[in-house]
Amino acid sequence: MDAAKAIAILATNPGDPLEYLEVIGRGRALPKPGLPVAAIPTTAGTGAEVTRNAVLASPAERVKVSLRSAHILPRLALVDPLLTHSMPPDVTAASGLDALTQLIEAFTTHRSNPVSDGHCREGLRRVAACILSAYRTGDAVSREGMALASLLSGLGLANSGLGAVHGFAGPIGGRFSAPHGAVCASLLPHAMAVNLRAMEERLPGCEALQRYREIAVMLTGRDGARAMDGIEWISETCEELKIPRLRSYAAGVEAFPDLIEAAEGSSSMRGNPIRLERDEMQEILELAL
């Protein structure tokens, strides 16, 4: 879907794609509408059928970055859960946890708003109810729940943005041969734990702290759940879904400085609920390694 969106917009806006790419390019606006795109997802994770960007990998720069414009939004999105029934368990796990990451980050970013909040709350409840059964049995009810959760995650991030996990995922995905959703999952509980501690220390009254507690209630189903309970639920779910650690993709500590520098310049990192210091960003990578 990202390739189709990029081809469609570049077909009507001539020139080198680097003229329009963010971060590694000039980031020029795409002035003309692209060719019409019908987006039909066959996994349940990215929500790319309803987002206004197209993610491209740059092997030369060893990073994944976006073309971004309202003109990139597909003309038609057809979300049919039946098309996801053939996903093997590892793809089900990685894509489903990508949707979970997007829902959590869109719900806790400082750009969150009533529109994105509704999408995220509904999506989080569906992930909590469906992701394990979708992985274990792939039953139709769970597949439908995860397809809707993915769609809602795309609508959520399109209206409020993302955070630190996706800030890292672009550079990691560009540098190492690693599935995007699995990278997000390996980082998610650690980024949340570091965010939680940083907010408790530096922004103790911020709304995102309450939202972390609300996420815990939705994921665990317990009214009295604390923020750390939600993070523990995610860690346990990642373990059950056999999410690899970053080291399994040949990532090592020698890459940390470059990854941190690249993440600092990403648009997603700017949406994080609190500005992370470099030592906090390194801690996330160390814990995920």
Strands (E), 19-62: 38-39, 53-58
CA distance 233 to 7: 39
d(CA 245, CA 156): 27
- Provide the pLDDT for residue 92: 98
- Which of 266, 65, 104 is CA-nearest to residue 196? 104
| pLDDT of the residue at 212 | 98
Note the pTM of the prediction, 2 decimals.
0.96
Would you state the pLDDT for residue 54? 96
197 CB contacts (<8 Å, ≥6 apart)? none
Are the CB atoms for 274 and 195 separated by under 8 Å? yes
- Asked if 2-77 and 85-288 have one fold, the answer is no
The answer to whether 263 touches 269, Cβ cutoff 8 Å, is: yes
In terms of C-beta density within 10 A (0-12 exposed, 13-18 middle, 19 or more buried), how is residue 283 classed? Answer: middle
Q: What is the pLDDT along the chain (289 residues), one digit of tens a residue?
A: 999 999 999 999 999 999 999 989 999 999 999 999 999 999 999 999 999 999 998 888 888 889 999 999 999 999 999 999 999 999 999 999 999 999 999 999 999 999 999 999 999 999 999 999 999 999 999 999 999 999 999 999 999 999 999 999 999 999 998 999 999 999 999 999 999 999 999 999 999 999 999 999 999 999 999 999 999 999 999 999 999 999 999 889 999 999 999 999 898 999 999 999 999 999 999 999 9
Domain ranges of the chain: 2-77, 85-288
pLDDT of residue 62: 85
Which of these CATH numbers, 3.40.50.10860, 1.20.1090.10, 3.40.50.1010, 1.10.10.10, describes 85-288?
1.20.1090.10
**Cα end-to-end distance, the chain, whole Å:** 30
56: helix, coil or strand?
strand
* pLDDT given for residue 63 in this prediction: 85
Q: Which CATH architecture has domain 2-77?
A: 3-Layer(aba) Sandwich (3.40)
Q: Which amino acid is at 107?
A: F
Q: How many whole angstroms separate alpha carbon 6 and alpha carbon 3?
A: 5
Q: What is the pLDDT of residue 61?
A: 87
